[in-house]
Structure 1
Amino acid sequence: MNQLTQPAPFPATSAVDYESLAARFRPIFKRIAEGALQRERTRALPYEQIGWLKAAGFGAVRVPLEYGGGGASLPQLARLLIELAEADSALPQALRGHFAFVEDRLNAAPGASRDAWLERFVAGDLVGNAWTEVGDVKIGDVITRVSRDGDRWVVNGRKYYSTGSIFADWIDVYARRDDGLDVIAAVSTHQPGVGHRDDWDGFGQRTTGSGTSTFENAVVEEAHIIDFATRFKYQTAFYQLVLIAVIAGTGRAIVRDVAEEVRNRKRVYSHGNAAAVRDDAQVQQVVGEIAARVYAAEATAWRAAEAVQRAYDTHFGEDREAEHDANVHAELETAKAQVAVAQLVLPAATDLFNALGASGTSEQKLLDRHWRNARTAASHNPLIYKERIIGNWEINGTEPPYVWQIGAGKPAQEQRAAG
């Protein structure tokens, strides 16, 4: 057994009472929900709503209590994100990069740099995401560069899928330094060298603030250039956990909306089963099955969050083998959860129309948004590859990949020559 002394973990991350913590944010979630349909209809970005969350300290819920944060565990964070996703599924996804950067700083070595970041989070600073490049970039390569410019460091490049960056104070930029080292550059958005375009054209999650981020000689402090090799090991599991929460929260919104639609529906069919739709046994069955599916999805998300919490906890222990095993477990648990939650919520997003008439398809109601949003969130990490990874583990004990990339593959003729 390989043992290595590690810093003690931040204490009491599971001692916070969830209901007390959630009570701080539920009034804000309610206000966010009130305008969600209109934002969806007009594709209005939730700047104001993000501001409400910042002011309430939502971005610091994982920061330890002694630093002024919420002291939440990862399962508690997942539950909060599910509640927020029920209000508006775009918002937890817009904050996905922020919470990942917070998690990385929580795993960082103790010191002034880590403490400074925790203080920024408590002050309300948010961090966006800029990792993916599109176009001719090949798998394993990165075009964005961090370079010396006299006595300063600058970032140059273009990123897409930079979800949440348009709302952020900092951007977590995946780049390559001139010496070939892959790094994370935490770039301040409050400078002229950083630009954003809300040009995400997906049919779902349209108000996440995703799109293109550009960096033209954007200055980054040397202390904010982080060796990517030191990134927290369960990062892929964590990123996936946020999307699982997004989908499960979307499921809760489906239950809410279909129950309300049925409750208020006046017209009935002559071949129905009751004088009021709300009393129709077959309609009740449809809603009951949807609610059961969403219950299972939410329970699955909580279990996956517990596995990610174990990966966090073992990082601070002395048993490297236990940490390794916890990281493997977190990857597999979140992979299974992704598949299961998608297969539970996506059918629910369709079945809700079985409880309604043709009026349920009205553009004014936009009930189709739930399927579009869940389908989009479920497409970020293809389900088919997650299923293969799970199967390969179960059959052969093959460990899952901890970091993966997307990019241009080899041309067909080059593949044939290599074969």
Structure 2
Amino acid sequence: MTANTAHATRPSTHAEPGEPGWLPNPPVAPAHVIRDDAEAIAVAEQLRPLFAAEAKERDRERRLPFREVDLFSQSGLWGITIPREYGGAGVSQVTLANVFAILAAGDPSLTQIAQNSFEIIDVIRQTGSETQKRELFGAVLSGKRLGNAFSEFGGKNVEAFETKLVRKGDHFVVSGKKFYSTGALFAHLVPIVALDEEGHVVVAVADRDAAGLEVVNDWSAFGQRTTASGTVILDEVAIPASRVLPAHIVYENQSAVGPQSQLIHAAIDAGIARGAIAATIDLVRNHARPWIDSGSDRAGDDPYTIAAIGDLKIRLHAAEALLDRAGRQLDETIADVNDETIGKAKIAVAEAKVLTTEIALAAANKLFELAGTRSTLGAHNLDRFWRDARTHTLHDPVRWKFHAVGQYYLNGVQPPLHSWI
């Protein structure tokens, strides 16, 4: 895999060429086409150490990972869920979750940049015409990246959209303002969630360099620092009719789109936990000093430290087991979609999300207790694990996962219709 390193590294796309803050649109580099599940896992394993190599420095400097994103998309991993009949590998949800967990153990911020692309691929699969599928799937397989202009900062909840799509002659125009736009800065195509003139949810796929579309790198969270999950401003952006997807088919009815997206989030949290535990073991083995009362010569011989590592590993393996179980249920649901199987998938993913959240936070916190005061030194930047875990796990509240799971098993109540469960 060869990265295209011709990118500038300026922070936004809202300035004119030559002005401070100008960033060119990313060139399209040919992507490898992955053929099956085994190859997807193998490629992820190859990329993980490359993602990890400068993760500490990227986080510290808020240095956006243009070169690494090129490697990511050129590897072919961005197209692995595209169905085989359209040229993709059509990998299982189990494999998809494993890929994200592997990569997130290296750098969860970089890994998350691809997350929304997979949701849109599934929206295209379920709602697109044959022409749309062949065009958009072909674009992804050729190396183009899908971004994200979904969520909005205002509104009474996450489904209160103010972005509107209206017809103008033989095409449409979309106007609004988006935030949490992970991937848009690195994208070639920006899918935009909007309401049409009848109030239905649609996805309008715009070119990143379309007139009126402005990407601003104003993401300032203390974690997931290099996802560039900031603002997208839309000022009458022209959208061809052929690029409008009737997404209400999956967003206003029961579908697997929501739990599929949630599964990837859970996998990222599992990856954060893996990375934090690996860092803890390395520090304890090679750098930490034993506590004076242990009577040990090595920190790794401290009985309380040994027990704590055992506890973390058990909890990680439990979370990973539920993640695999959720992936298998999703695969079964996608093969036979109905209200009952959708409910099973949502609950299985919710259970996995609870444990991956808990172990990501616990592992990132326990690292400092077991490695000692020297682990807090700025040179190590180990707090990035906790900052990434705390930020990413806020995507959807786990307290409501417990409620949905309890309602399902105790009272036979199906989980909510929306995509955040």
TM-score, length of structure 2 as denominator length: 0.85
Letter in 2 for 1:338: K
Of 207, 216, 231, the residue aligned with 2:250 is 231
Query: Matched residues in 2 for 1:179 and 1:253: separation?
Result: 46
Counterparts of residues 12-51 of structure 1 (less than 5 Å): 16-18=36-38, 20-51=39-70
Shift of 1:110: 6.4
Shift of 1:139: 7.1
Shift of 1:284: 2.4
Counterparts of residues 135-174 of structure 1 (less than 5 Å): 135=154, 141-174=160-193
* SS at structure 1 position matched to 2:407: helix
% identical equivalent positions: 28
Query: Matched residues in 2 for 1:98 and 1:263: separation?
Result: 39
Of 40, 44, 56, the residue aligned with 2:75 is 56
Shift of 1:225: 1.1
The 1:163/1:279 distance shift into structure 2, 3 A limit, reads same
Shift of 1:169: 1.4
Query: Matched residues in 2 for 1:112 and 1:226: separation?
Result: 11
> Do residues 300 (structure 1) and 322 (structure 2) align?
yes
Shift of 1:350: 1.4
**How many residues are matched?**
383
* SS at structure 2 position matched to 1:133: coil
Larger mean Cα displacement after TM superposition, 363-372 or 236-245: 363-372
Letter in 1 for 2:371: L
The 1:206/1:357 distance shift into structure 2, 3 A limit, reads same
Deviation per CA, 1:210-263: give whole Å up to 9, x if none: 011111121111121122222271122112111100100001101210111112
1:285 paired residue number? 307
2:10 paired residue number? none
1:69 paired residue number? 88
Query: Matched residues in 2 for 1:219 and 1:241: separation?
Result: 33
Letter in 2 for 1:332: I
The 1:306/1:136 distance shift into structure 2, 3 A limit, reads closer
- Which sections of structure 1, spanning at least 5 residues, go unmatched? 1-14, 316-322, 406-419
Contact 2:104–2:268 (CA under 8 A) maintained in structure 1: yes
The 1:334/1:177 distance shift into structure 2, 3 A limit, reads same
Of 203, 207, 215, the residue aligned with 2:222 is 203
Shift of 1:167: 1.1
The 1:140/1:251 distance shift into structure 2, 3 A limit, reads closer
Query: Matched residues in 2 for 1:167 and 1:266: separation?
Result: 39
> What's the Cα RMSD here?
2.1
1:348 paired residue number? 363
Shift of 1:346: 1.5
Of 206, 213, 216, the residue aligned with 2:235 is 216
Deviation per CA, 1:185-221: give whole Å up to 9, x if none: 1112122321111222222111112011111121111
The 1:311/1:355 distance shift into structure 2, 3 A limit, reads same
- Which sections of structure 2, spanning at least 5 residues, go unmatched? 1-34
Contact 1:137–1:143 (CA under 8 A) maintained in structure 2: no
Shift of 1:66: 5.1
2:376 paired residue number? 361
Deviation per CA, 1:153-190: give whole Å up to 9, x if none: 11111011111111111222111123433211111212
> Do residues 379 (structure 1) and 381 (structure 2) align?
no
2:124 paired residue number? 105
The one of the two structures with greater contact order (alpha-carbon pairs below 8 A, sep at least 6) is 1
The 1:351/1:153 distance shift into structure 2, 3 A limit, reads same
